[in-house]
């Protein structure tokens, strides 16, 4: 049975010859282009092509486009793209923001390099996330709680993040963030953006000092997927109409649970399971992929 999809390609430079090459690959893989339009209102070119193809051909078609040199392509079911109301749920560190908050905190303790190495291994899926989090947080023991305010001030949004959130909410969609980082940094960010929902780990503070521990269950990959389902139900948005964006192994369950999982400049472990990849440093590319 044939179905309608959108193939969205984007990049800093996408020449006419590149578009012709894309259309040739589509034709060779049984996809009929119904409509093609380009957008130029962002710092990258976006070409959206409405397709008619067999749903089972979507995955091999993405592989064929990648082999042809098209670095970033999403093939998205039109039912999801056209859904009146969606839930966008994003990872925070190295997705919504440019940095890893745990590393910013560790710098105040003189442990940045040590913690960065553990973070990188955890995001590649080489370490259990909860265990790695406890190991990294332990290096923060004794830090004055005032460092949280300094780190919050140092956080930089990923380019395009504010535009993505503003446009998504203006179009009636629900926007959330879930993080293996810390609520003391995410909560004020969520309020300022603003986000509809947010969740992160809570650092324990006693007598104005970080204890090197977190309070309550760790926000790991299972907790992120659970948050997606919980917020989807609370927002009356079907899970099939949810869009999840992340960069590391801790986002695996969330991306596979979502109607559309997008790997944002991600580690290999996540790219392997994602429905789509973004390989440019602009988060608002997600808007065009998901029809937000």
Active site residues: 91, 93
| Cβ–Cβ < 8 Å for 155, 101 | yes
CA–CA dist 244, 80 (Å, integer): 13
Q: How far apart are CA 6 and CA 75, in angstroms?
A: 5
Contacts of 192 (CB under 8 A, 6+ apart): none
Alpha-carbon torsion, ordered 17, 80, 277, 64, to 10 deg: -50
Task: Give the up-direction half-sphere exposure of residue 83: CA atoms within 13 A in the CB hemisphere.
Answer: 25
CB 25 within 8 A of CB 64: yes
DSSP E strands: which ranges in 23-93?
32-39, 45-53, 73-77, 87-90
Long-range contacts from 19-28, C-beta under 8 angstroms, 24+ separation: 19/47, 21/68, 21/69, 21/70, 22/47, 22/49, 22/65, 22/68, 22/70, 22/73, 23/49, 25/61, 25/64, 25/65, 25/68, 25/70, 26/51, 26/61, 26/65, 28/64
């Amino acid at each position: 049975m044939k179905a309608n999809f959108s193939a969205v390609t984007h990049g800093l430079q996408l020449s006419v010859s590149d578009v012709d090459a894309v259309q040739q690959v589509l034709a060779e893989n049984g996809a009929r282009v119904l409509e093609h339009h380009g957008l130029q209102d962002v710092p990258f070119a976006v070409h959206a092509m409405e397709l008619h193809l067999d749903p089972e051909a979507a995955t091999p078609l993405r592989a064929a486009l990648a082999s042809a040199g098209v670095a970033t392509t999403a093939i998205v079911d039109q039912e999801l793209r056209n859904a009146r109301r969606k839930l966008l749920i994003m990872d925070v560190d190295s997705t919504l923001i440019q940095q890893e908050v745990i590393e910013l905190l560790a710098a105040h303790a003189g442990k940045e390099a040590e913690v960065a190495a553990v973070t990188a291994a955890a995001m590649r899926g080489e370490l259990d996330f909860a265990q790695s989090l406890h190991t990294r947080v332990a290096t923060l023991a004794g830090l004055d709680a005032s460092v949280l305010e300094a780190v919050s001030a140092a956080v930089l949004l990923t380019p395009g993040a504010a535009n993505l959130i503003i446009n998504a909410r203006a179009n009636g969609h629900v926007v959330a963030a879930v993080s293996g980082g810390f609520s003391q940094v995410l909560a004020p960010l969520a309020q300022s953006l603003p986000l509809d929902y947010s969740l992160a780990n809570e650092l324990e503070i006693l007598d104005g000092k970080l204890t090197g521990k977190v309070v309550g269950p760790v926000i790991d990959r299972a907790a992120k997927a659970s948050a997606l389902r919980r917020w989807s139900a609370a927002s009356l948005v079907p899970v099939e109409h949810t869009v999840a964006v992340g960069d590391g192994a801790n986002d695996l369950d969330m991306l596979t649970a979502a109607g559309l999982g997008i790997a944002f400049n991600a580690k290999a472990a996540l790219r392997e399971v994602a429905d789509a990849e973004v390989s440019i440093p602009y988060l608002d590319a997600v808007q065009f992929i998901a029809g937000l």
